[in-house]
Amino acid sequence: MPEIEREATVIGVRREDVKVEVEDDVTLQISVERVVEKEEENDKWHRAERRAGSFSRRFRLPEDADVGGIRCGLEHGVLTVEVPKKDVQEQPRNVRCIDVA
């Protein structure tokens, strides 16, 4: 079964900082909120830094997306989101002729 795959580079981001949501079964949203705190000190000084950043991306899912089977993984700074496609069998068309009066 073919899949839809999206990747995002999120180096230095923890799993708990990543949010993947599906809205109304048609929109996939990937959000990352990153806060980095760094403190250094010695006997003469103390320095504290805090950097923050975020990003969000939205993708429209096709009608045959199986939103119940979405899988996400974060490895080596790359977030991968896999959306399987439903096994849709082509239905025979029901065609009816209508007389023109």
The two tokens of residue 84 are: 């399987």
Q: Is residue 93 situated within a structural domain?
A: no
44 falls within a domain: yes
- Report how far apart, in Å, the C-alpha atoms of 74 and of each of 8, 15, 48 are: 9, 7, 29
Q: Say if residue 17 is exposed, middle or buried (CB neighbours under 10 Å; 0-12, 13-18, 19+).
A: middle
User: Does the structure show a pLDDT above 70 at 5?
Assistant: yes
Band (pLDDT 50/70/90 cuts) for residue 97 is: confident
Domain span at residue 69 reads 3-84
Residue 56 domain-assigned (yes or no)? yes
Rounded mean pLDDT of 1-16? 84
Domain assignment of residue 68, yes or no: yes
Residue 57 forms part of a structural domain: yes
The model's pLDDT over 37-96, given as tens digits with 9 standing for 90+, comes to 788 888 888 888 777 788 899 999 998 899 999 999 999 999 999 999 988 776 677 888
- Whether 1 shows a pLDDT value over 60: the answer reads no
35: CATH: 2.60.40.790
Per-residue pLDDT at 19 exceeds 60: yes
Q: How many domains, the chain?
A: 1
Apex CA 81: angle with CA 69 and CA 54, to 5°? Answer: 130
